């Protein structure tokens, strides 16, 4: 039963990666090419030049907005940097984009797309769920522990355990909370089996 659940989750993560590649390499590239071709139309001479250029500029703006939306969706499915560079760089980019003051400690080890995806989205959900004005996650450490990816998040509360567990448990992972002196000074450790 557990191995079937892990296989199902692995297939889900592989599908997410494939969808990301399709959006990024398919629709995004076609729209980019279309935007360039429309840009060339500015230099053609129709009867009403001002109106022509205004319409072309509007189309380019709309296509640029669609391209940004596609890239945002693509990153939510499976961040391109996670696939290309690994968990450390992807988490650093996530923290930079969120504006959170979180130290990411991660080497260059790769753990496979399934474990890396689960760890990435566990941290992303944890950061998104931080209480307004409350103590934020201060440090996230990623390392290999035997055959597992070991994620340690410092400065968390008990409410974030469920978010981590949602990502780790379907893959045969475990989550432990070591509570600190205050509700938001705990440490969560997450172990996810990896390749």
- Look at residue 135 in the predicted model and tell me its pLDDT: 53
User: Would you state the structure tokens that stand for residue 27, as one six-digit string?
Assistant: 């629709």
- Look at residue 163 in the predicted model and tell me its pLDDT: 82
DSSP 134: S
**For the domain 81-193, what is the CATH code?**
3.30.565.10
- Look at residue 149 in the predicted model and tell me its pLDDT: 96
pLDDT in tens, 82-132: 999 999 999 999 999 888 888 999 999 999 999 999 999 999 888 887 665
Residues recorded for the chain: 195
- Look at residue 84 in the predicted model and tell me its pLDDT: 93
Tell which residue, 128, 182, 137, 140, has the closest CA to residue 155.
Answer: 137
- Look at residue 89 in the predicted model and tell me its pLDDT: 96
Pairing of strands 148-156, 103-106: unpaired
Measured distance CA(105)–CA(107) in Å, rounded: 7
Measured distance CA(38)–CA(179) in Å, rounded: 58
Question: Phi-psi category of 48—alpha, beta or left, where left has phi over 0 and alpha has psi -120 to 50?
Answer: beta
With H, G, I as helix, E, B as strand and everything else as coil, classify residue 89.
helix
Whole-prediction pTM value? 0.73
With H, G, I as helix, E, B as strand and everything else as coil, classify residue 126.
helix
- Look at residue 100 in the predicted model and tell me its pLDDT: 83
- Look at residue 1 in the predicted model and tell me its pLDDT: 53
Do residues 162 and 190 touch, judged by C-beta distance below 8 A?
A: no
- Look at residue 117 in the predicted model and tell me its pLDDT: 93
Given a cut of 50, the residues of the chain with pLDDT beneath it are: none
Q: What are phi and psi of 133, to 5 degrees?
A: 75, -5
What's the Cα-to-Cα distance from 103 to each of 63, 69, 87, rounded to whole Å? 36, 28, 14
């Amino acid at each position: 039963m557990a191995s079937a659940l892990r296989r199902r989750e692995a297939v889900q993560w592989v599908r997410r990666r494939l969808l990301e590649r399709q959006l990024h390499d398919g629709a995004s590239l076609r729209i980019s090419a279309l935007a360039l071709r429309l840009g060339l139309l500015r230099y053609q001479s129709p009867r009403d030049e001002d109106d022509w250029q205004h319409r072309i500029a509007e189309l380019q703006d709309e296509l640029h907005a669609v391209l940004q939306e596609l890239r945002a969706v693509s990153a939510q499915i499976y961040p391109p940097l996670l696939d290309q560079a690994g968990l450390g760089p992807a988490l650093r980019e996530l923290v930079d984009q969120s504006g959170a003051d979180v130290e990411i400690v991660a080497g260059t080890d790769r753990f496979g797309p399934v474990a890396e995806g689960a760890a990435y989205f566990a941290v992303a959900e944890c950061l998104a769920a931080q209480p307004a004005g409350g103590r934020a996650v201060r440090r996230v450490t990623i390392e290999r522990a035997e055959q597992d990816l070991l994620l340690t998040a410092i400065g968390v509360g008990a409410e974030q355990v469920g978010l981590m567990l949602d990502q780790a448990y379907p893959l045969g992972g475990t989550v432990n909370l070591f509570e600190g002196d205050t509700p938001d000074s705990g440490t969560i450790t997450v172990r996810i089996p990896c390749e």
